[in-house]
Structure 1
Amino acid sequence: MSSYLDFQPDEFGIYEYVPGVIVDIPCAIRNMPMSVYHGQPCVGPSISSSQLRTIFSQSLKHYWDKSPLNPDREPFQDTEATILGRAAHHLFLGEADFSKYFVVSKYAEFRSNEAKEWRAEQQLNGLTILTAKQVECIKGMANSLMLEEPVRGGILNGHVELSMFYPDPETGIWVKSRPDAVPNDADGADMKCVADIFDEGISRGLGDRGYHQQAALTFEAVRHVFHRSMENFFLVYVEQKRPHCVRINTIHPDDVADGIVENQAALRLFARALQTNEWPGPKGEGGDGSFVRRTTWTREWAKRRLKQIEQDLSQ
C-alpha cells in the first residue's frame, strides 16, 4: 500500500484521490468515493462526524451496530429520503458522472415481470433507482436554490465534497470531515434537504441532528489540515416538498464551541471502547435499577389535569 507521503498536493494543499492509498498524514483529498470515505481509509481506526454524533446523542452500541469496524454490522438500507437527499446533493454540488450512480425508472411501478427484471438489473449494476416524482422534486429544489443570491454567488461552490483527515492529538484516533463545500479560505457550507423549514423545526433539527457538531469538526479539520481558522459555517436548507422554500443560516459560534467539546467527549468514549472492545448502550445516571422519572412538563400537566377533574366533579 502506498502513502500520501509519496505524493505532492496541488497549489491549494489538496491531494488527488489515488485508489488503494492509505491516509497516514493530515491531509485533504479530492474526489474520494463516498464508499471509501465511509469505510476505513486511514492507517488506524477512523471516525466521522455522523458517527461521533451517534455516540454523543445515543450510545456506543448504536454506533457499533452500523460501524464499518463491526463485521456483524446492520446492512445499510436506503429510504426514499436518503435516496432523494443523496441524488440532490450529487446534482446540486456538481459532482460528475451522475449516470454512474443513478438511473431514472421507466416504470411507474414494479409489478410486471419485465419491470422487476429491469429493477434487478439496475441494482446488480450498483445503480440507485429514482422515480419520476423524485426527479421532479429535485428539479423543484434546484430551481428554488438558484433563486437565492448566496447560492448564485458560490456558497455551495469552491472545494466540493472535500475529504479531510487528521489524527486527534489527545486520542490518536483518525478523524474524518467532509463538508459539502469549502467556498473560500474562511467558510464552510452544507446543504440540508428538510421537511420543516420554519424556525422551530430548524432549531429542533439543529439540536436533534447535531449539525453544530458537524460544523465544529469541519473547523477542527481545517485547523489541523490547512493550519488556518474558519469563520463561518453556513447551512443551506431547502424544503423537500413544494414550494421548495430555501433559507440560509449561520451556526452560532457558541454552538460551534459546544460542538468541539461534545465531539471530544465522544472521541474519548470511542478510544476507550476500542481498547476494551466494549460497546455499551445508554444507561441512566444512576445505573441499572435506578429510579426513572417522567419529564417535568408531564408531571405539571398531570397536576393541572387532576385539578381540572376535581373541579368538574365538584359541580
Structure 2
Amino acid sequence: MSDIRHLADDEVIREPGLYAMPLERHHGQPCDGVSVTSGILRGMELKSPADVWAFHQLNPGRFERPVTAALRMGQAMAALIEGGIDTLNANFVVSGGSAPRRPTIKQMIAYDEGRATDAGRESVEYWRAMEADTRTVVSQAEFDLIVAMGGVLAQSPEAAAVMSGLPEVTMAWQCPETGLWVLSRPDTVSLDGMTSDYKKMSTKGGAFDYRLVDRRITDHAYDMQMALAAESLEVLGYGWPASVGIVAQCDAPPYHVILREIPEHVLRVAQFRNRRARLRFAECLDSRRWPGPGEDTGAYQYPEWLEQRLLSEQQVANQ
C-alpha cells in the first residue's frame, strides 16, 4: 500500500507516517530522536520511571529483559495472524521433545578434534544447528497450541472482520510538547476507521468471560495501548477510528474468543494518561533522574472501604 513506507536497515524515521519494519526495530529507537512506544508509556503509568529506565535501550547500565514464554508465544501468535503458517515457520523453529541434551565442553572439544562419540556428535550437531538458526525456538507443545488457537480464531467471522486491517504497521509521529517520537503498532489497523489488538489470555482455572477480559484490559492498561493507536491515526490524518477493540482468546480448549470494544470516552481518558506518561518520561530524560517506588513515602492507610467499615463498627461499639 502506497501509504506504508518500508524502513531500510540503514535508515531512520525522519517524517511522520506509516512504516513497515521488524518488531525488534520498532522497539529499537528507529527514529532520528528518542522514541517511546506504548509499552514505555504504560510502564511509566503502571510501574515507575525507575522500572522503565532499568531496561531501556538508552540506559548503558540496563538489565537485559528476559524472553518469557508468554512473550515468545505472543510473538508467535502475532506472526501467525500476520501471515499464516508460512510466516510462523519463517520466524519460529520447533525444538522437538526428543532433542538431545546440550553438549558439555568436553564433548564440543572432542567433536572439533574428530573424536566424538555418537551421542556427543548428535548433541553438538543438533545444538549448533539450532544456535545458528536465527529463528526463535518454541517447543512442539507451544507450536501445536499456537496452531490450534489460530485455527479457532480463523473460524470466528467477528474476529476476522475486526482483524482484517493492515497487520503490524508502525505509526510514527512527533509529540509537539516533548519532541519525543511516538510509535504505535497495534496488531491490525484499518485506515478507514478500525484498529484492534489480539491478546492471548490464561484463566488459571477460572472462567473465561468478559469480566476477566475487562480486568486484564485494566491491569495491563490495554486501553492506553489502543488509545495511542487511535490518537496516532488521528494525528497522521486518518481521523479518530470508529471502532477500537481487543480480541481476547482463551489459551485452553475450546479456545473461546471474546471481542471487547473500547468506547471513545474511555479512550479519551487513556489518551490523557498517555500524554501524562510522555511528559513524565521527557522530564526524567532531561533531568536524568528516574524515581523509583521507594521515593513514595508516607504513613500506612486503610483501604477506603475498610476504614469506613471499621469507623462504623467503632461508633457502634462506643455507644
TM superposition score normalised by structure 1: 0.84
Tell me, yes or no, if the aligned pair for 1:122 and 1:128 is still in contact at 8 Å. no
Tell me, yes or no, if the aligned pair for 2:193 and 2:243 is still in contact at 8 Å. yes
Q: Once the 2 structures are TM-superposed, how far is the Cα of residue 101 of structure 1 from its aligned partner? A: 2.4
Q: Which residue type is aligned with residue 197 of structure 2? A: D
Aligned positions of 1:260-271 closer than 5 A: 260-271=271-282
Question: What is the CA deviation profile of residues 182-205 of structure 1, one whole-angstrom value per residue up to 9, with x for unaligned ones?
Answer: 134101011111113322211111
Equivalent position of 2:178 in the other structure: 171
Equivalent position of 1:209 in the other structure: 220
- How far, CA to CA, are the matches of 1:116 and 1:246 in structure 2? 43
Equivalent position of 2:134 in the other structure: 126
SS in 2 for 1:189: strand
Q: Which residue type is aligned with residue 89 of structure 2? A: S
Q: Which residue type is aligned with residue 145 of structure 2? A: C
Distance 1:125 1:58, change over 3 A: same
Equivalent position of 1:3 in the other structure: none
Distance 1:111 1:269, change over 3 A: same
- How far, CA to CA, are the matches of 1:115 and 1:261 in structure 2? 54
Q: Once the 2 structures are TM-superposed, how far is the Cα of residue 163 of structure 1 from its aligned partner? A: 0.5
Equivalent position of 2:57 in the other structure: 68
Percent sequence identity is 26
Q: Which has the higher helix share?
A: 2
- How far, CA to CA, are the matches of 2:90 and 2:157 in structure 1? 31
Distance 1:304 1:102, change over 3 A: farther
Distance 1:112 1:55, change over 3 A: closer
Distance 1:46 1:131, change over 3 A: same
Question: What is the CA deviation profile of residues 249-298 of structure 1, one whole-angstrom value per residue up to 9, with x for unaligned ones?
Answer: 101222101110000000110111111100111367xx53x212242455
Give the counterpart of 2:243 among 210, 232, 247: 232
Q: Once the 2 structures are TM-superposed, how far is the Cα of residue 211 of structure 1 from its aligned partner? A: 0.7
SS in 2 for 1:93: helix
- How far, CA to CA, are the matches of 2:66 and 2:310 in structure 1? 40
Tell me, yes or no, if the aligned pair for 2:6 and 2:19 is still in contact at 8 Å. yes
Equivalent position of 1:28 in the other structure: 18
Give the counterpart of 2:66 among 60, 65, 77: 77
Tell me, yes or no, if the aligned pair for 1:29 and 1:164 is still in contact at 8 Å. yes
Count how many residue pairs are aligned between Structure 1 and Structure 2: 292
Question: What is the CA deviation profile of residues 63-95 of structure 1, one whole-angstrom value per residue up to 9, with x for unaligned ones?
Answer: 101111112211121122211111111012217
Give the counterpart of 1:295 among 303, 315, 319: 303
Extract unaligned runs of 5+ from structure 2. 104-121
Tell me, yes or no, if the aligned pair for 2:79 and 2:91 is still in contact at 8 Å. no
- How far, CA to CA, are the matches of 2:310 and 2:125 in structure 1? 57
Q: Which residue type is aligned with residue 43 of structure 2? A: T
Tell me, yes or no, if the aligned pair for 1:189 and 1:234 is still in contact at 8 Å. yes
Distance 1:117 1:74, change over 3 A: farther
Equivalent position of 2:192 in the other structure: 185
SS in 2 for 1:94: helix
- How far, CA to CA, are the matches of 1:118 and 1:78 in structure 2? 22
Aligned positions of 1:1-315 closer than 5 A: 11=2, 13-30=3-20, 32-94=21-83, 97-108=87-98, 111=101, 113=103, 114-115=122-123, 118-119=126-127, 121-153=129-161, 155-196=162-203, 197-282=208-293, 287-288=296-297, 290-297=298-305
Tell me, yes or no, if the aligned pair for 2:191 and 2:238 is still in contact at 8 Å. no
- How far, CA to CA, are the matches of 1:207 and 1:173 in structure 2? 26
- How far, CA to CA, are the matches of 2:10 and 2:134 in structure 1? 20
Q: Once the 2 structures are TM-superposed, how far is the Cα of residue 108 of structure 1 from its aligned partner? A: 4.0
Q: Once the 2 structures are TM-superposed, how far is the Cα of residue 147 of structure 1 from its aligned partner? A: 2.1
Q: Which residue type is aligned with residue 213 of structure 2? A: I
Q: Once the 2 structures are TM-superposed, how far is the Cα of residue 229 of structure 1 from its aligned partner? A: 2.2
- How far, CA to CA, are the matches of 1:198 and 1:110 in structure 2? 41
Query: Could you tell which deviates more after superposition, 38-47 or 72-81?
Result: 72-81
Q: Once the 2 structures are TM-superposed, how far is the Cα of residue 119 of structure 1 from its aligned partner? A: 4.0
- How far, CA to CA, are the matches of 2:290 and 2:152 in structure 1? 44
Distance 1:303 1:124, change over 3 A: farther
